[in-house]
Amino acid sequence: MTDFPRPPPRYSATFTPAVNAEIRRAAATGIYDIRGGGTKRHLPHFDDLLFLGASISRYPLEGYREKCATDVWLGTRFAKKPIHLEIPITIAGMSFGALSGPAKEALGRGASAAGTSTTTGDGGMTEEERGHSKTLVYQYLPSRYGMNPDDLRRADAIEIVVGQGAKPGGGGMLLGQKISDRVANMRNLPKGIDQRSACRHPDWTGPDDLEIKIMELREITDWEKPIYVKIGGARPYYDTALAVKAGADVVVLDGMQGGTAATQDVFIEHVGMPILACIPQAVKALQDLGMHRKVQLIVSGGIRSGADVAKAMALGADAVAIGTAALIALGDNDPKWEEEYQKLGTTADAYDDWHEGRDPAGITTQDPELSARFDPVLGGRRLKNYLKVMTLEAQTIARACGKNHLHNLEPEDLCSLTIEAAAMAGVPLAGTNWIPGRNGGF
């Protein structure tokens, strides 16, 4: 053999080891990969935006002394009883079924202690979450599992789910491992089946029907409850405009970073748009209709910190929602369970097989032994702490920008680090006044 320096093995950028592993998995099983969570690909995100802060042209507020309010009213358009939250960070819909009863209880405890709302999910309302949630949003989904007028009336708001960021155009999925007796009973399904929810509502199609459906729900609840319409980040300008036209009090917009309990990986990774690209379009729709701040906008999908909250609100959102981050605050994917994650063939912070119901942290499971590991009181306290920290962080940034309310943050407080983010978010590339696609240039 000739003795010469050999180059190191070179991996293909197209056929990476991860791609090849998926090809092998598909070839071995004949079924697409199903998992929980949101997209894992790199996307333009809030990290690509920075706040400018105040200087001479703008005055900051004293960081520890001057007030910076955080409250938000939701549902002021038509509802007799709009919701008032102390902080603009809400808990997104996650079903009992996807989550254990104690996990739902913890979400209610934490959110209530922090002064915000929780949301049910595709499985009906449980006593755990109604009892522990001061403000509870009841989702109205295509499946209508557990739907009944009594729960509608004891909810504080109703969220008509049209789409979800992780899977715009797709329905819910809950595999047999998690269809326990209680879950099966609540959903009126046989125990142990692989439940795949419809993607369309069974009794309305299109925006004109939606307007009538919203009117019916208002009639049933005597026009008391705010009615949200949740859309996945697909065509946010038109979907927001149509939701407003249909009579929504609040539009909930979920980008593709938003999580799901279970769906196909190909759906999670290849359908929808990042939330950064969605918010400006939704805000523009509201502004074009003269409804910005009259119909409130809640955005979600990859919100992790007070900086993300502040950036979303600076782009025009009235509030945000968190799902994945809330689960992590509760204890999901905690390295303390690493040994068990390894047994499941994964590792902490990467575990996403929530559909299998074997969550070592006892959160995304219906297994009684695993669920018993999770302390809802402690979990609630952790979530409250996290929500408080996010709020303090957002206030810190807002004060630095001279704002005495988080709602006063504005796009002019932001710059972008990348051309992509500048184009999507509609804020100038740092050090320039260039917004690609808007003010000349390209």
Partner 1 sequence: MEIYDLAADGLRGLNASLHALKGTTNQTAWQVKNPKGAHAIAAGIDAPIDVTVLGSTGYYCAGMNKQATVRIKGSAGPGVAENMMSGTVIIDGDASQYAGATGRGGLLVIKGNASSRCGISMKGIEIVVHGNIGHMSAFMAQSGSLVVLGDAGEALGDSLYEARLFVRGSVKSLGADCIEKEMRPEHIALLADLLKRGEADHLARPEEFRRYGSARKLYTFNIDNAAAY
Minimum separation from the CB atom of position 145 to partner 1 (A): 8
Give the dihedral sign, CA 292/295/300/305: positive
x/- letters, 382..411, toward partner 1 (CB under 8 A): ------------------------------
Distance CA 393, CA 396 (A): 5
Q: Does 199 bind partner 1 (CB under 8 A)?
A: no
Q: Please say which residue, 187 or 403, places its beta carbon nearer to partner 1.
A: 187
Contact segment (CB under 8 A) with partner 1 among 51-59, 199-207, 225-233, 370-378 equals 199-207
Q: Does 152 bind partner 1 (CB under 8 A)?
A: yes
Centroid of chain to Cα 140: 16
The answer to whether 379 and 129 have CB atoms below 8 angstroms apart is: no
Tokens of 350: 């990467």
- Near partner 1 in 256-315, by CB under 8 A: none
Contact segment (CB under 8 A) with partner 1 among 1-9, 140-148, 322-330, 371-379 equals 140-148
Tokens of 190: 């046989």
Q: Please say which residue, 70 or 143, places its beta carbon nearer to partner 1.
A: 143
How many CB atoms within 10 Å of residue 400? 19
Contact segment (CB under 8 A) with partner 1 among 85-93, 198-206, 271-279, 430-438 equals 198-206
Contact segment (CB under 8 A) with partner 1 among 93-101, 208-216, 291-299, 310-318 equals 208-216
Distance CA 355, CA 154 (A): 30
Longest dimension (CA), the chain: 87
Contact segment (CB under 8 A) with partner 1 among 130-138, 184-192, 280-288, 405-413 equals 184-192
SS3 299: strand
Please give the single-letter amino acid code of residue 352.
D
Minimum separation from the CB atom of position 222 to partner 1 (A): 6
Residue choice 35, 130, 213, 382 for contact with partner 1 (CB under 8 A):
213
Residue choice 19, 23, 212, 378 for contact with partner 1 (CB under 8 A):
212
Quickly tell me which residue has 């729900």 as its tokens: 217
Of all helices (H) and strands (E), which one includes residue 186? helix 181-187
Q: Does 206 bind partner 1 (CB under 8 A)?
A: no
C-alpha angle 29-366-154 in degrees, rounded to nearest 5: 125
Q: Please say which residue, 46 or 267, places its beta carbon nearer to partner 1.
A: 267
Q: Does 20 bind partner 1 (CB under 8 A)?
A: no
Residues in CB range of 418: below 8 A, 6 or more apart: 44, 48, 429
Distance CA 166, CA 233 (A): 9
Which residues in this chain contact partner 1 in the complex, by CB under 8 A?
29-31, 143-144, 147-149, 152, 175-176, 188-190, 192-194, 196, 198, 202-204, 209, 212-213, 215-216, 219-223
